[in-house]
Structure 1
Amino acid sequence: MKLRVLFIVLIFFLRLTASHAQGNDVLTKQINHNIHSWIGLLTTHRLSDNWGVTADFIVRRDDFLNEPGFYFARLGGGYWFNDNISVTGAYGNLWLYRPQLSDKSFTREHRFDQQLIVNSSLWRFNVTQRFRIESRWREVVEGDQTVGRTFSERIRYLYTFRLPISKEPSVPQLMFSNEILLQFGKQIVNNPLDQIRLFVGIRHSVGKGVAYDFGYFPIFQQTAVGNVYNLNHTVRLLFYFSTRKSKLDNHNLQMEEQE
């Protein structure tokens, strides 16, 4: 009888110890630090006071500049209610570098988006807010092969503050922005909060309708695994080019800067 009781107590403590060990084996957060660079050209062409087209091209390089990351092209059209409020729709194509694939080097993503941009001012800041909804069709990778596509949607909210430090237009403005990206879909389980993108740098107008921003662009991203995160330390250089056809003289092309 005593041996039976001792055996039961021993089994109880063994199970308790195993349970405690499993509790301590909970997945822990893993953060991968990467160094990237972004360079891109974002263009706006106002065909009239209200209608226009947009065309963007962005390249990301990994390991700073040594490895390919992605190529992204976007073409769309929009309606400007005035110089401060506009709505646009666009189609984008993203080629993402996947070195593990045996049959090709890049997977493709087809993307449609609609967005609203609102420009305003707050104290001495020029403020831009952008609301964007994206529908995404992405290739799925299993091992070294692609196995079809998955569909998801993503909501993005971006706000940007630009602070002029001089009345001279040749002096760069200080710039800060933050963008939150939320995604939804049947395959989105562990990472509905897709990314948080910050930016700290300068915005510099170098002529009518021509500008660039340059600075530090950290991107915090949760992967589909759930407990694995990427913190991408990124150097960003984006060029902006915009034109505007005057309603008074259709033969003259005027330049303006758009976010």
Structure 2
Amino acid sequence: MKSIVHSTAAKLLVLLLLSLASGAQAQTQTTTATPTAYQRFNTWLMVFSDARLSNKWGIHTEGQLRQVKGPNSPQQKFLRVGANYYVANILVLTGGYANTMSYPDGNDSDVGGLPEHRSYQQVLLRFDSSRVMSQHRYRLEQRWVQHLGDKKFTYLNRFRYQLRLTLPLNHERKIAPGTPYVLASNELFVVFGRNDAGKFFEQNRACLGVGYQVNRATSIEAGYMNQMSQQETMSSLVAGHILHLGLNFNPDFRKGKLTMANN
């Protein structure tokens, strides 16, 4: 039975990797064929933390700097906070707030920043019964967005689904301290509501990368993300080629757990 599960999980990872590669190729072909499409090269620096406070509760914090030409030319600054409720080992519910500041064309001096406020609700499912760990993330967002040339905020609804798979690059069954691993993910964004401008698909993010588990609480990741997004004009597509660098810090403050993580 275990061999069947392991084989199925491995096939799932291979299929996702192939779909990401073919999707990136198709997106590049689309941008070449569409006159209004253009490509953008970015670097995203990210820090994530899920601090476990008790058996049921925890805190999520997240910060990102998305830059176009360098640290002095940001595309977007991002901060997210939330409260985690651990229903079970495989199920986590989260609700919280996010704030972003976007800069057109990565220039924060001429035009100024465009703020956005979000509330969000999230369901996270994790399965690690095989060497390939899968994570399903369902997120609903309520967004108040300020567009260029408009001082008023527009209300938007958005739904996101992400599938993320990780696989240890050694003979370990699970990712443990000192373990390198490979990761693959794909996230679909759709919008709905009276202000959706008649569109449904907003963007898709396909990612391939590698990571290293430093200790029980800390890991680092780096990889390539292909982002296909549809602009407000409905006729403009942006293919983003993104180098992402991430730090994950997930301390466990339950009795006895923090000492184990530090060791």
Shorter-chain TM-score bucket reads 0.7 to 0.9
Determine whether 1:198 maps to 2:202.
Answer: no
Which of 135, 138, 160 matches 1:131? 138
- Which residue identity is paired with 2:92? S
- Which residue identity is paired with 2:239? L
Matched with 1:72 is: 78
| Secondary structure of 2:152's aligned partner | strand
Matched with 1:163 is: 167
Residue 145 of structure 2 contacts residue 154 of structure 2 at CA under 8 Å; is this kept in 1? yes
Matched with 2:228 is: 220
**Structure 2 CA distance for partners of 1:107 and 1:165, relative to 1, 3 Å:** same
Structure 1, gaps ≥5 residues long = 1-27
- Which residue identity is paired with 1:189? A
Query: Whose strand proportion is higher, 1 or 2?
Result: 1
Residue 73 of structure 2 contacts residue 108 of structure 2 at CA under 8 Å; is this kept in 1? no
Which of 209, 234, 243 matches 2:217? 209
Query: Whose helix proportion is higher, 1 or 2?
Result: 2
Matched with 2:19 is: none
2-structure distance, mates of 1:255, 1:89: 26
Residue 220 of structure 2 contacts residue 246 of structure 2 at CA under 8 Å; is this kept in 1? yes
Sequence identity, in percent?
A: 25
Mean Cα displacement is larger for which, 33-42 or 182-191? 182-191
**Structure 2 CA distance for partners of 1:234 and 1:42, relative to 1, 3 Å:** same
1-structure distance, mates of 2:109, 2:223: 36
Determine whether 1:47 maps to 2:63.
Answer: no
Deviation at 1:253, TM superposition (A): 5.2
**Structure 2 CA distance for partners of 1:235 and 1:64, relative to 1, 3 Å:** farther
1-structure distance, mates of 2:194, 2:240: 26
TM norm structure 1 = 0.79
Deviation at 1:193, TM superposition (A): 0.7
Which of 226, 231, 245 matches 1:237? 245
TM norm structure 2 = 0.78
Deviation at 1:83, TM superposition (A): 2.5
- Which residue identity is paired with 1:162? T
Residue 183 of structure 1 contacts residue 194 of structure 1 at CA under 8 Å; is this kept in 2? yes
The superposition leaves residues 166-189 of structure 1 with CA deviations (integer Å, 9 ceiling, x where unpaired) of 036424111100000001232322
1-structure distance, mates of 2:240, 2:154: 24
Structure 2, gaps ≥5 residues long = 1-33
- Which residue identity is paired with 1:156? R
Deviation at 1:64, TM superposition (A): 5.9
Pairs within 5 Å for 1:182-193: 182-193=190-201
**Structure 2 CA distance for partners of 1:82 and 1:254, relative to 1, 3 Å:** farther
Residue 35 of structure 1 contacts residue 64 of structure 1 at CA under 8 Å; is this kept in 2? no
1-structure distance, mates of 2:179, 2:59: 29
Residue 151 of structure 1 contacts residue 185 of structure 1 at CA under 8 Å; is this kept in 2? no
Deviation at 1:74, TM superposition (A): 0.9
Which of 108, 115, 136 matches 1:108? 115
Deviation at 1:117, TM superposition (A): 0.6
1-structure distance, mates of 2:179, 2:152: 50
